[in-house]
Structure 1
Amino acid sequence: MQKDFSAAWTPVALSADLPVAYVIPARIETADVAVWRAEDGTVSAVADRCPHRGMRLSHGFVRGEALSCIYHGWRYGKTGHCLAIPAHPGLRPPEAIRVTVYRVAERDGVIWVSATEEPGEAPAHEGFTGLRSITLSATAETLAGCLNSALRHGTIDWKIDEMKARLLTTPSSEEGILLAHLLIEAGATQSQKRSASIALEALRRAAEAAVKQGEAA
């Protein structure tokens, strides 16, 4: 039987949420990461700590094909190696100065990150397109319970007014907060997109209310 590697991949953002020359924080099972898109459109993910003083690289900025720390401007390329140290413009940074790089895949409008080197592609969601992402104070199990749907590897299938929808869930970089990405059928009309967005907000309220009721019980 072929091994399922889908659990090794974490959906950290929708493609539309990461424009060119932009960086965002994210969380995978083993680490906090900074996910950034270079000016050539490619996406990279690195450990969210600058080796110099520990500043979060997700607070930094992208110029060309490099991610720079906002503190002292140390620049890192897609391979994780330090490219330049502004305080020492004539110095070629040693190869030992680098940040950990994680595998990234961009598929069906979703950006995935994996901490493993195992083979296997990121999960496919053909026929769907990303609509929006939300954060909420609830668990994936609570969301699935509110929808009376099964939870499989953080994924919940859903129907909104007879339109197929799918939720991809993962813990966010903030403790106790869940990140959920809503995918809907590709080719959905503007009216369907509005309905899906409204339904997602209603689901958030229901899930958070269910958590509060459980805490009060």
Structure 2
Amino acid sequence: MRICTGVETFTCPYNDWQDDSGCALCTNDFIGDSNEQGILSEFSIFSRWKVACGELDFDNQYCVMPDCVCQRANLIRKPGYSPSARKPGRADVTAVLGISTYDTLPYSTASEHSFRNCLEGFRSPRDGVTSLVSLHNLWHVYLGGIMSRVPISANDPAFLMHHCFIDKIFEKYIIQYDVRPSDYPPNTRPGHTPTECMVPFFPCNTHPQYLQSLANYGIIFSSYNGF
């Protein structure tokens, strides 16, 4: 992160959940323990962590109204409490890294045999075809609470560590297949064409520019647990 921050020793933590039986970082030493209602322990540093728009849990109504007054509710997290809760694991990561094609038509959540779509979690990484909540999306669902509510999930500190790990999987894929900006597929999907910026990041870098090793941006991942 040296180029981004100007600080040689600046780092971002990532949450490698591959071999966890649950959420290993959901303790008071890290991002906080919680009860069955999702309320964080009073002994967690995040026990009084406030969430922007946390009480507006309605479709397409996360503080988008002109007269919206955002509530500041407490952070809620319920890892594994859903009756159907399951989590992604090492086999899923191995499977998705076996998909050599970066993306396929129609370049959406319907794309099959697409590394991008399987990593995002809309298709099974095992066959690249089956419609299934997996990998990135599945961890959001597994953690429950604020993390499972997409428009406001970034309120949970678990969001940063999860996405840093997804970036690490992406980095491993880029290096493994020697992926380059020229491999970005030509498409006309609004907001995703090769000539458009990846928003909301500035200065403007087009989508293909991000299809290269993060080392070019001064970001290097440490190795942990053989990954």
TM-score, normalising length from structure 2?
Answer: 0.26
TM-score, normalising length from structure 1?
Answer: 0.27
Between Structure 1 and Structure 2, which shows a larger proportion of helix residues?
2
